Amino acid sequence: MPMNDIVPEVVSEIDRRAALCARVFLLAAVPIMLVLAFLIGPFGAADEREHFLRAVGIASGAIVPEVSYDARIKRKEKRVAGARIDTAAISVADKAALSQEIKQEQVNPHYRMPRADFAARLSFHQTGKRAFAEHNNTALYSPLLYFGPVIGIELSSLLDLPVFTWMYVGRVANVLLAGALIWWGIRRSRGSAPLLLVAGTLPIVLFQSATVSADALLLPITIMFAAILSRWADRAVISRNDLLLLSAGTLVIAVGKVAYLPLAILPPLIAAIVDRRWSPRLTLLLCVSLVAVVLWAAWAYFVRDKVFSMLDDIVVNPAGQLRQMIDHPVRTVVIFVHTMKTQIVRLLLTSTGSLLGNLTIRLPAFFGPASLLVLAIASVTSLGIVRRPLAVAIVAAGIALTCYVVIYLLLYLQFNAIGSPWVNGAQGRYLTPLMVVVLALLPGLVIRTAWSDRLLAVLIGWSGLSCLLTLWAVLHRYWL
């Protein structure tokens, strides 16, 4: 039954609940994200130093990374990917991320960086001179994921702010963009609004959105992406703005990280299942999916030399690994199945390093399993009044599983020795976008009684607890 045919009073109640969830996120989560942007230690997120250098490189015009044998690089026998940027940015990044203080912090979680170091780093200003900065981990990321930090860095550069503040301005830009995307997604999702509120206040989302990491925008864009698809599955009206944002989100997600390229075909498949006929918007989404594949292929073509140049080590060799997999397909399948089956429990349930938590902060042991339970309850007890087609959930789960396999394939090719019996390098945050999309599209149970308001209060309360726990964990990690 289309939502337009339902009693207007009921639709109004659904919209009221969605607006309440959006308002809670705006008033509770966004301020905490802004505070986190300043509380998280300098380059404290995973690979944030490399993400910062990548963003500075894009702002300097180096959209496509280059390869160098620069004399500053210790491993002169290997080519490395990076960009030529202002020497002050390199000095700030090296001082903050490669100093003895950070090395001690990595091995001693109780170590606290001396406060005087902050004042010393504020003395670095633009020099106008450029040097090569290596950032292999992030050189291949699409510039689309760095829109917020690039805008912040450009503004900081124009105002001639100390280079050290560029990181914080970039973080604030990411918070504002992430907050707007998640707020809009919750507001438009209707039945999935409580679920997306819980997802948007997970520690991993709050933490990453307050950094200059590529995940800072990827996670919020995925929440917006899931919100529009769930609205479509609820048979609600899809406006032109919805289609425009869905198309933009599809392009950013698919081109941003290769592992999520299969998600590009999800919107047209859902449109075909729900609409049950060929329509102009289905044609549009098919064209967007095709464009996403073409853009990804074009980006891969431009950076292909960088991929193989920085991975040409004797032990870690993608070409050799691929030949090994082709020669021994059964062994490869056994390795993947065993690794994925073994690691999924750890990635789902652990509070630190899972898809719910973060690698650099510690949360209470109960939080991981409890959050997963709350997410499950929120997903199967939709506060809407229509049941989504089961085929939508099956298709979403199938595409998510494909992305999961691709993640392990890329890790095996890039970061594991030839013939390794185990796939190393998996992190729970790689699965968070897939979890959000699948849970938002589950059929759910329709609740129309007073229990829906009580359930909504519980979900809102849990979201508030998640925000406070994240804030406390960051304070304890870096300042107390």
In DSSP notation, 20-89 reads HHHHHIIIIIHHHHHHHHHHSPTT-STTHHHHHHHHHHHHTT--S-EEE--TT-S-TTS-EEEEEEEHHH
Residue 293 is inside which H or E element, if any? helix 280-309
Beta strands in 72-139 (DSSP E): 80-86, 130-134
Phi-psi region of 353 (alpha: psi -120 to 50; beta: other; left: phi over 0): left
User: Confidence band (pLDDT; 50, 70, 90) for 358?
Assistant: low
To 5 degrees, how large is the angle CA 82–CA 86–CA 92? 90
Of the candidate ranges 33-37, 76-80, 102-106, the one whose mean pLDDT is the lowest: 102-106
CB-based contacts of 174: which residues, under 8 Å, 6+ apart? 37, 148, 149, 152, 209, 210, 211, 212, 216, 217
Task: Rank 65-79, 231-245, 277-291, 333-347 by mean pLDDT and report only the highest.
Answer: 277-291
Q: Please return the burial class of 229, using the count of CB atoms within 10 Å of its CB with bins 0-12, 13-18 and 19+.
A: buried
Distance, in Å, from the CA atom of 263 to the CA atom of 480, rounded to the nearest integer, reads 41
Q: According to the model, what pLDDT value does residue 344 have?
A: 74
Do residues 476 and 39 touch, judged by C-beta distance below 8 A? no
3-class secondary structure, 130 = strand
Residue-wise burial string across 469-480, b where 16 or more C-beta atoms lie within 10 A, e elsewhere: bbbebbeebbee
**CB neighbourhood size of 353 (10 A):** 20
The band of 479, judged by pLDDT with boundaries at 50, 70 and 90, is confident
pLDDT attached to residue 312: 47
Can you give the pLDDT at residue 350? Answer: 56
Mean pLDDT of the chain: 80
> And the tokens for 318?
């993608």
For residue range 184-239, what is the model confidence (pLDDT) as tens digits? Answer: 999 988 778 888 999 999 988 999 999 998 889 999 999 999 999 988 888 777 88
Specify the pLDDT at position 116.
Answer: 63
Model confidence over 311-357: pLDDT tens digits? 444 445 666 777 888 888 888 888 888 888 777 766 666 544 455 55
Highest mean pLDDT among 127-131, 422-426, 427-431, 447-451: 127-131
Tokens of 349: 């349930």
- Whether residue 6 is predicted with pLDDT greater than 70 in this model: the reply is no
pLDDT score, position 126: 87
In percent, the amount of the chain with pLDDT more than 70 equals 80
Confidence of residue 179 (pLDDT cuts 50, 70, 90): very high
Q: How confident is the model at residue 115 (pLDDT cuts 50, 70, 90)?
A: low
Q: In terms of Cα–Cα distance, which of 254, 205, 259, 201 is closest to 225?
A: 254
Q: Is residue 468 pLDDT above 80, yes or no?
A: yes
Q: Which residues of 113-122 are buried (b: 16+ CB within 10 A; e: fewer)?
A: beeeeeeebe
Give me the mean pLDDT over the 143-157 stretch. 91
DSSP3 helix / strand / coil % (the chain, rounded to 5):
70, 5, 30
Q: Give the model's confidence band at 377: pLDDT under 50 very low, under 70 low, under 90 confident, else very high.
A: confident
Phi-psi region of 386 (alpha: psi -120 to 50; beta: other; left: phi over 0): beta
Provide the terminal-to-terminal Cα distance of the chain, rounded to the nearest Å.
55
Specify whether the backbone of 61 is left (phi greater than 0), alpha (psi in -120 to 50) or beta: left
| Candidate from 57-66, 350-359, 441-450 with smallest mean pLDDT | 350-359
How confident is the model at residue 175, as a pLDDT? 96
Q: Does pLDDT of 103 surpass 50?
A: no
Q: Band of the pLDDT at 32, cuts 50, 70, 90? A: very high
Question: Contact at 8 Å (CB) between 476 and 364?
Answer: no
What's the pLDDT score for residue 314?
A: 42
Residue 296 pLDDT grade (very low, low, confident, very high; cuts 50, 70, 90): confident
The answer, yes or no, to whether residue 174 has pLDDT greater than 70, is: yes
Domain boundaries, the chain: 3-478
